[in-house]
Structure 1
């Protein structure tokens, strides 16, 4: 899947370069976009499945900078999944230039108990694209 975005001024430092702390936010936006596209936005996961999706691991490799006003895209998708955990891999690019790559790992928590649960079947099938 591809998520497209433009760098906003507030995301940059004094040199006009995107601050490194924004990349996890970009990944979060892309995941939210993904969940909306598969028909299970965060609100629906919380309300219908009594489930939170939580981030448990984050990896980022920075290759090149982004600047205020740059248009960029994030190519991403599910890279692995088991009974309890699933991961996304990301590639941030501007044109043909790779800006950053990353990976996040997630688990599902039952909202009322705050304990890790297996990925709900309906969510698993949506994440798998079935």
Structure 2
């Protein structure tokens, strides 16, 4: 999947470079877009499945900077999934040049107990594209 975006001024530091703390936000925006496209936005996961999706690991490798006004895209998708956990891998690109790469790992929690649960079958099916 591809998520496209433009760097906003408030995301930059005094030199006009995107602050490193924005990349996790970009990844989260991309995931939110993905969940909407598969028909299970966060609200539906929470309400229909009584489940929260939580981030348990985050890795980012910074290669080049982005600047205010840059258009960029994030190519990403599911890289791993088992009964309890699933991961996304990301490549941030500007004009086909790799800006950063990353990976996030997630788990599902029961909203009532706060305990890790297996990925709900319907969500697993949607994440797998089936």
Task: Verify same fold: TM over 0.5.
Answer: yes
1:122 and 2:119 aligned:
no
Name the counterpart of 2:54: 54
* C-alpha displacement of 1:7: 0.1
Distance 1:101 1:115 in 2: 30
1:65 maps to what in 2? 65
Which runs of at least 4 in structure 1 moved beyond 6 Å after TM superposition?
A: none
Measure how far apart 1:95 and its partner are.
0.8
User: Hey, what does 1:109 align to over in structure 2?
Assistant: 109
Q: Deviations over 1:24-67 (max 9, x none)?
A: 00000000000000000000000000000000000000000000
Residues in 2 aligned to 1:52 and 1:96: alpha-carbon distance in whole angstroms: 34
Q: Residue 129 of structure 1 aligns to a residue in which SS?
A: coil
Partner SS state of residue 55, structure 1: strand
Where structure 1 has 5 or more consecutive residues not aligned to the other structure, the ranges are: none
Q: Map of 1:1-130 to 2, 5 A cutoff?
A: 1-130=1-130
Distance in 2 between the 1:96 and 1:31 partners? Answer: 21
The secondary structure found in structure 1 opposite 2:90 is strand
Length, aligned pairs only: 130
Give the TM-score normalised by the residue count of structure 1: 1.00
2:73 & 2:46 partners in 1: Cα distance?
28
Query: What RMSD in Å do the two structures reach over aligned CA positions?
Result: 0.2
Mark the runs of 5 or more structure 2 residues left unpaired by the alignment.
none
Q: What SS is found at the alignment partner of 1:35?
A: helix
